[in-house]
Amino acid sequence: MKKLRNKFLLGFIFLIGFQKYNCQSRITDTLYLNTVINQWHLDAANARLEEYFSVMSEDFVFLGTAPGERWSKSQFFSFCKPYFDKGKAWDFKPSNRNWHIDYKRKIAWFDEDLSTWMEGCRGSGICIFYKGSVKIAYYNLTVLIENEKIQPFIELRKQ
């Protein structure tokens, strides 16, 4: 009975230590991920094209607000370049970002509120931990509309 209790106690101490490490690791990861995404938004606002695209994975996908806006990295580059060449692209101000990190620390996904020229928007994305850094693999930008305003919006889209 004493051996069983000692094994249980040892296992319990290990579990608490692992959870503490895991919690600290997640906090560190979240701070790092926030830095990456904040810088990504800043690179767009300051029209730094190479920096903006350097954090995207090779198989990156961007979903924009218009129905036909589903771009690969190269397609999105072609879309973005004229805006960045003018010295100013878009300036999205994020807030209320929520992160989720898989238990193996390979993938992280998030959603965020954005203050934009389109008023309130929401972005969601997937990041991949890759060779000691993070790459954005997917980003979805949506315009927010209140439920009670959806019918006039639908009618407007039909025009």
Q: Which pLDDT score, from 0 to 100, does residue 17 have?
A: 46
SS3 state at 106: coil
| CA triple 59-65-71, angle to 5 deg | 25
The DSSP call for residue 121 is: E
Where in the sequence is the domain holding 55, given as residue range(s)?
A: 2-158
Residue 56 is part of a domain; what is its CATH number? 3.10.450.50
Domain count for the chain, please give it: 1
pTM over 0.85: no
Q: Is 87 left (phi over 0), alpha (psi -120 to 50) or beta?
A: left
Note down pLDDT in tens along the chain; length 159 residues.
566 555 554 444 444 444 444 555 767 889 999 999 999 999 999 999 999 999 999 999 999 999 999 999 999 999 999 999 999 899 999 999 999 999 888 999 999 999 999 889 999 999 999 888 899 999 999 999 999 998 988 898 889
